[in-house]
Amino acid sequence: MRWRFWGMLGAMVCLGQEVSAQNAAPKDPARPPVNAVKWDSTVTIRPNENQNPSTTNASAMPVSASTQEETAASDRFNNDGSMDEFSNSYMAGGEQVWGGLDYMLWWLSPNPISGPNLVTKGNWNNPAPGAVGQRGTSQAGPAPGIDYGTFSGGKLTLGGWLDSEQSVGLEFTGFLLEQRGWGQIYQGGALPANEIFTNPTKALLPYRGREVVGQWSTASSLKQSGVQLPPINNYQLAANLQMWSADINWLANWGRTETQSFDLLFGFRQMQVQEGLTVKGQSSYYDFPNSQYTTQTGTDSVTATNGFYGGQFGGKISEQFGRVRLDVVGKLALGGTLENVRFAGNNTVNTIAGSTTNEGYVYTQKSNIGLHTAKRFAVLPEILVKLGVPVTEHLNVGLGYNFLYLSSVARTGNQLDPYINAAANPSHPIANMSNNGIWAQGVMFSAEWKY
């Protein structure tokens, strides 16, 4: 009985081991052993000479650096060619040079006008036709200023990093706005028609037996006071404005991640503002003292050229939000503006005896005709905000907003001296050399590339 018991017990143990072996989970060939050593890229494993190369596991072979770069580059694009990871590669990629072209749609601050207005509308039969404050006189234009409307222009940007680490670079930026013109014609009748257009000035001489020094009058009323100025009844104004700028800056990268970048900039800036204003008058009237018909034409011209030169510093922040890139650039230039203002004028009188041309007209006389210069300290801040999206691997298109302000500029409308008195000391009109600021702002449609 005992040998039978031990025999049955041994058979049961053997059967249990066989069943447990059949029920055990199959080994996962992809799951490493618990004590497996991690892959070391520095170790090269050579296949066994007796092993069939065709059966060698390709995934166990080491991957070269060039293969990794090609794989990373291919990850930027989906099967359909769209860019999936382009945003990160565009920010932290290996681009060494860049450039951009922008179409600018800008607005500039209006040209302010000296005095109450350049043109008034009045009645020739009044004691002082067109005099400001007189009953029957109305403002015709263009106070308080000349609005030039919308300017078109272009902007160019070129830059590049000077080292492989992209820590130090150089960037050039320049823009040019078109020369924008403005004009207005005020048409009156032949004198002694009731309705005329004229220009208001300060009557600094007694008028009609009363002391009206400091009162607003007109060129026509001053003629009746003995001042030889034209009784204008047709008036024409014309103005133009143009602006351009260029700057060059050293770039120093302060920090960079896959989605963010911050650069400091230091450099030099130049900006030019050119403006012109022309006042033309024409009169035809009967000269009672001399019993003859007289026609008179004349022109006042003022041109202003402003050149700013100064050192500049600022910063640029770039942020990537998925496929959208945000750039914010701030600059501040400190320097000086060289202001050149030139006055020129003439008038021609036609009578039966012939024509006579004299220097000066209304706002230009011997007292101010010529070139006048001033140098003033100025500041030029600028801010740019731009959003861009990728079109190809190296090309972005975007939309931006730009604002800048130059603190010291000679605007032509404020250079006109409305005081007319040749006997004063100093004689009037004089070169005012008034100082103003000018702002410019607008939208930009941009295309930029990096390589």
| Residue 41, C-beta contacts closer than 8 angstroms, at least 6 positions apart | 62
Q: How many helices (H) and strands (E) does the chain have?
A: 4, 20
How far is the CA of 84 from the CAs of 35, 66, 319, 393, 395, in angstroms?
39, 21, 17, 11, 15
Task: Give the pLDDT confidence score for residue 73 in this predicted structure.
Answer: 44
Could you tell me the two tokens for 9? Answer: 């017990």
The mean of the pLDDT values for the chain is 77
Give the model confidence (pLDDT) of 97-126 as tens digits.
Answer: 999 999 999 999 999 987 667 787 877 667
pLDDT score for 289: 67
User: What is the model's pLDDT at position 115?
Assistant: 65
Model pLDDT, residue 86: 43
Q: What pLDDT was estimated at residue 142?
A: 80
Give the containing element (helix H, strand E) for 273: strand 260-287
Q: Is the peptide bond before 144 cis (omega within 30 degrees of 0)?
A: yes
The two most distant CA atoms of the chain are separated, in Å, by 168
For residue 191, give Cα distances in angstroms to 76, 131, 134, 288, 407: 79, 17, 20, 12, 45
**Edge-to-edge strand list for the sheet holding 215-218:** 215-218, 200-203, 419-420
Q: What is the pLDDT of residue 78?
A: 47
Which pLDDT does position 3 carry in this prediction?
Answer: 41
pLDDT < 50 stretches in the chain: 1-9, 11-61, 63-67, 69-90, 92, 203-216, 220-230
